[in-house]
Amino acid sequence: MKQLSSEPVKKETGPSVPAIPSVERRMFLRTVGLFTASTAAFLASCQNSVNELAPANRSGARTAADAGGKSFGTGDIAILNYAYALEQLETAFYRQAVEKLFSDIRGDEKMVLSDIHDHELVHREFFKAALGPYAIQDLEFKFPIDFNHRQEVLNTARQLEDTGVGAYNGAGPLLTNGTFLTLAGKIVSVEARHAALIRTILRPGTSFFAGDDVVKTMGLDISLKPSQVIPMVAKFITTTGLDFGDLLSR
């Protein structure tokens, strides 16, 4: 039996959104769907919204210097940090998947994993830039799976994507700021594409891409509360002392 890869993963260094090169910027526009406004303008709008919220609730406006960057804060800032943590997790997973490509990987599967990694990386960096001094610290992760095993990698990818879609759907109603809600809506549509694509690779030619386990009655996708999602992803997070605040009761 092959030894499972379980070494901690440190978050890779990515570009800040304003400094993304032209090729990556074009990819970002396609990914997040900002076809009518520049990335910088939308980012500035998010940053302004964060700064407007911060003075109104000092407990939610924790800066990076407070609590060692381990507190998610409260209100909309907590929800943004929650999304930021999930994007850190997905980026770290796909980085390992791309670096340790399973031996029987096909060319199209390699492209899919690489493209999804790039999408998650830009999502992650956007949240980091939007949150500014109110962002949680860079998290570390451990994935107790065999990255040389195709089924383990793809099943974990499916679980992360399905969870991500449910997490965004569940967090959306908790947001009070329209700009943040627009951002969440744009990103969750991309996460849903990822989930459907991974599911199609796992079971091609079937309806699994939109199975009954994720698309419920009335054709609506799953929705998961933060209090449901955090325990599901906590097993991958090795950073200690995180303060999720009221997310665990929402």
Instruction: Assess if residue 247 is contained within a domain.
Output: no
Q: What is the pLDDT of residue 29?
A: 44
Instruction: Assess if residue 248 is contained within a domain.
Output: no
Residues of the chain with pLDDT under 50: 1-7, 10, 13-26, 28-29, 31-37, 55-61, 64-65
Q: Choose among 134, 139, 125, 13: nearest CA to 85.
A: 139
Domain around 47:
8-242
Q: Global pTM?
A: 0.79
Q: Total domain count for the chain?
A: 1
Instruction: Assess if residue 250 is contained within a domain.
Output: no
CATH code of the domain in which 32 resides: 1.20.1260.10
Instruction: Assess if residue 192 is contained within a domain.
Output: yes
Q: What is the pLDDT of residues 68-97, one digit of tens each?
A: 789 999 899 999 999 999 999 999 999 999
Instruction: Assess if residue 61 is contained within a domain.
Output: yes
Helix, strand, coil % over all residues of the chain, rounded to 5? 65, 5, 30
Instruction: Assess if residue 75 is contained within a domain.
Output: yes
